[in-house]
Amino acid sequence: MSVASAPTGRVGPPPALPEDEPDPPPPSRLHRRQGRIGLVFASPWVIGFFVLYALPMAASLWFSFTDFNLTSAEPTSFVGLDNWRRLFGDPEVINSAWVTVKFGVLSLPFTILVPLGFAYLLTSKNLWGRSFFRTLFYLPSVIPFVAAVLVFNGMLNSQTGWANRALGAVGIPGPNWLNSEVWIYPTLTLIALWGVGNAMIIFIAGMNSVPEDLYDAAAVDGAGSLAMFRHVTIPLISPVLFYNIVVALIGLFQYFLVPFVLKNGSGDPNGSTFFYSMYFYRTLFRLQNMGYAATLAWMLFIAGVVVTGVLFWSAKYWVHYEFGERS
């Protein structure tokens, strides 16, 4: 038996070698013209990104390695990692970061759970006038927050505010809302709840997107309202929940307006409102130490990226996406 006729398990002639694919045709004149038009339309965003974001960030990173100070007559010089060494040993950084963490631990659950509860109530079929109440709860969000904080400042005044007067009318002594270390964080949390309308609207949109047949199936299985909320609503709105948590966390890192308007950056009472952003503001605008302020800003950015990254990593364990997609 020759080699050619030996049994090899192959039937028929050997397969032909694949031919080289022909080169794609060059883009036509029309495609090149459309590409140029696309670049023209995208150029405002590209230019804006580099001018307003990329270049300032690169400049601030460079400043963090210098002793740039607007009040100093000395020329700016490169100091290497001195600002970063100072940051990790700065007690003001540790104290202000701790103040931010303490407030976040108390405030974040309320800024998530309260709008979630409002959204659940305002999507109830048994509630009369749902549209009216949704508008009513959302209206505070359209009021300038500085004006709202000033109103709260007067309303919660321990001597003249109507909150303590109302409590006094029923025999309850009012607390010192704004000047007590015990009450300042609950007060700031109360003020923060004034602007939960946006989160509430997003939760309502998420709840309205849950398929009705899932609730019907759960009802057939004997599930009550609480079980439906726990096992149907929460898993299906988990992407919305995840989004609101990310937004709330970023808002915590940027928390500045309320303590600044109430206390003018003094940190009263006893440093309990001296948030990290307040320390950054004082270093940048009052001491005008640009180099160290840039280091503080980059540390805040890194901390935000790390915390947000951990949250995105955890999403694969608890965020449910429709059609089986998971982050």
Q: What percent of the chain lies above the pLDDT cut of 90?
A: 73
Dihedral sign for Cα atoms in the order 207, 212, 217, 222: positive
Q: At how many degrees (to 10) do helices 290-318 and 55-63 cross?
A: 120
Q: Residue 244 and residue 200: Cα distance in Å, rounded?
A: 10
Report pLDDT for 4: 43
- DSSP secondary structure code for residue 71 in this structure: T
Q: Residue 68 and residue 30: Cα distance in Å, rounded?
A: 52
Report pLDDT for 19: 61
Q: Residue 140 and residue 194: Cα distance in Å, rounded?
A: 6
Convert the pLDDT of each residue in 14-65 to its tens digit: 566 556 667 777 778 888 888 899 999 999 999 999 999 999 999 999 999 9
Query: In sequence order, which ranges of the chain are alpha helices (DSSP H)?
Result: 29-49, 55-63, 82-88, 91-122, 130-138, 145-155, 162-169, 184-192, 197-208, 212-220, 225-228, 234-236, 238-253, 257-263, 276-281, 290-318
Report pLDDT for 327: 45
Q: Residue 7: is its pLDDT beyond 50?
A: no
Residue in this structure with the two tokens 């009263």, named with its chain if needed = 268
Convert the pLDDT of each residue in 285-310 to its tens digit: 999 999 999 999 999 999 999 999 99
Number of neighbouring beta carbons within 10 Å of residue 61: 14
Report pLDDT for 15: 60
Convert the pLDDT of each residue in 145-183 to its tens digit: 899 999 999 999 988 899 999 999 999 998 999 999 999
Dihedral sign for Cα atoms in the order 196, 199, 203, 204: positive
- Omega before residue 22 within 30° of 0, cis: no
